[in-house]
Structures are given as C-alpha cells and as structure tokens.
Amino acid sequence: MNKAVSRSTFLRLAGAAALLLTETLAHSAENEITSEMILADPEAPTAGNPDGDLTIVDFFDYNCPFCKDAAVHLERLVKADGKIKLVYKDWPVLTPTSIVGAKLALGARYQDKYLAAHHALMSVPGYGISQQQMIDAVHKSGVDMNRLDADIKANDAAITGLLKRNLAIADAVGFQGTPGFLVGPYKVNQALTYEGFQRVAADARARQAGQKAG
C-alpha cells in the first residue's frame, strides 16, 4: 500500500492554517452558533450510543498531550457506560500540523475509517508532531492512503467548512485552550481522569433530570 500523500495535497494541508483561522474569525462574527451545530452537525464524527441520554462533545488537537491523556479515560467511560453519545470536534489550534492531522482524520471518514485514523493520531505521543509522523500513523491504522488523498482533494470544501464551524463553536463557547468538553449542560476546559468524567457525567444527568422534572 502506498503511504504517500501527493505533493499538491501536502502543500494544501501545510498551507491551510493561516487561511482557516482568518476565515473562521469572519465566520464566527457573521453566523449564530446553534445547539444543532454543536450537538448534531451531520459532518461531525460520533461514537458511543447515538440514542444515548447524555451527549459529550470533545474538542481536541492532535498536538495536545493533555487531550491524548484525557481521551483514554473518556473513551473508556463511553464504552463502559453504554448510554453516552460522543461527538468529536477536531479543533486544530496549536500548530500548523494540527490542521494536517485534522484533515487526514476527517478525510478518512469518507472510507468509514475516521475512528481508526483518530485513535492512531491520538496514540502518537507528545507535542509538535510532524506531518510525516501523522501520515505514517494514519497509514498504519489501515486507511487506504491513495483513496485518502483523493477524498481530501474532492471534499476539501466540506472538511474545511467543518473545521471552521468547530473553531467558531469553541470560540463562542469560550474555551481557552485544549482540551475542551461539553458534558450535557456543563463546560469543562481541562483534562479529566476516568473518575472525573464519571462525576461530571453523573452531575450532568442529575441536572438534566431536574430540568425535565421542573
């Protein structure tokens, strides 16, 4: 299997950061952020129970070590709980290669391999991950790299649009850095342990139940 990403795709990924961030500022100023955009964007990848009684939205960056630590505990809770819907919001804000990673993962969604690519990228330790390290990780996850190259080119507008929405949402919510989580009605702007996620999930469910009862 060829693991190379074409030069045109390489240049487009590497040069995307400034344009994406600049255009997002205009997008967030001109467009209202709705709960539908946050919880039910049809382009946003999801995991867990799609009909769960609690939704957790995860804002992360593939260059964020704290995101990677928290992800292990969050994924474990989602699996053990069985009633949580997890929404992934790729939020590439730390380095230019963060956008590379986000586009590689979101491009893999078109061959139903987003989670494979996502978990592979989250398993690369540390900060300042190079573009080649990201490409290698996605390749090893079983993604067809030739198809990925083609899908990123064909769906560049959709992928970029999703990332702009994610950036605008994070700005509107008021996250100060990665990671960020929306757990039901609660905003959490720090990494949590498994027990921490358990507690905030329980608190969110209790508050939701109280709101329904009221």
> What is the pLDDT, as a whole number, of residue 214?
60
**pLDDT band with cut points at 50, 70 and 90 for residue 11:** very low
Rounded CA separation 148/10 (Å): 12
Q: What is the DSSP string of 146-176?
A: HHHHHHHHHTHHHHHHHHHHHHHHHHHHT--
Given a cut of 70, is residue 89 above it in pLDDT? yes
pLDDT in tens, 90-109: 999 999 999 999 999 999 99
Domains of the chain: 7-213 (3.40.30.10)
pLDDT, mean over the chain = 88
Between 22 and 89, name the one with better pLDDT: 89
Task: Tell me the C-alpha distance between 94 and 127, whole Å.
Answer: 9
Q: Is the pLDDT of residue 23 over 80?
A: no
Which has the closest alpha carbon to 6: 138, 149, 102, 117? 149
Q: Nearest 5 degrees, angle CA 61-CA 67-CA 69?
A: 150
The set of residues, in sequence order, having a beta carbon less than 8 Å from that of 214 and lying 6+ positions away, is: none
What pLDDT does residue 33 have?
80
Confidence label for 5 from pLDDT (cuts 50, 70 and 90) = low
| pLDDT of 45 | 98
pLDDT band at 26 (very low <50, low <70, confident <90, very high): very low
Task: Give the confidence band of 16 by pLDDT, cuts at 50, 70, 90.
Answer: very low
Closest to 181 (Cα-Cα) out of 87, 81, 112: 87
Q: What is the gyration radius of the CA atoms in the chain, in angstroms?
A: 17
Identify which has the larger pLDDT, 19 or 189.
189
Percent of the chain scoring above 90 in pLDDT = 78
Q: Specify the higher pLDDT residue, 14 or 140.
A: 140
Rounded Cα distance, 117 and 150, in Å: 16
Contact 120, 141 (CB under 8 A): yes
Q: Assess whether pLDDT exceeds 50 at residue 193.
A: yes
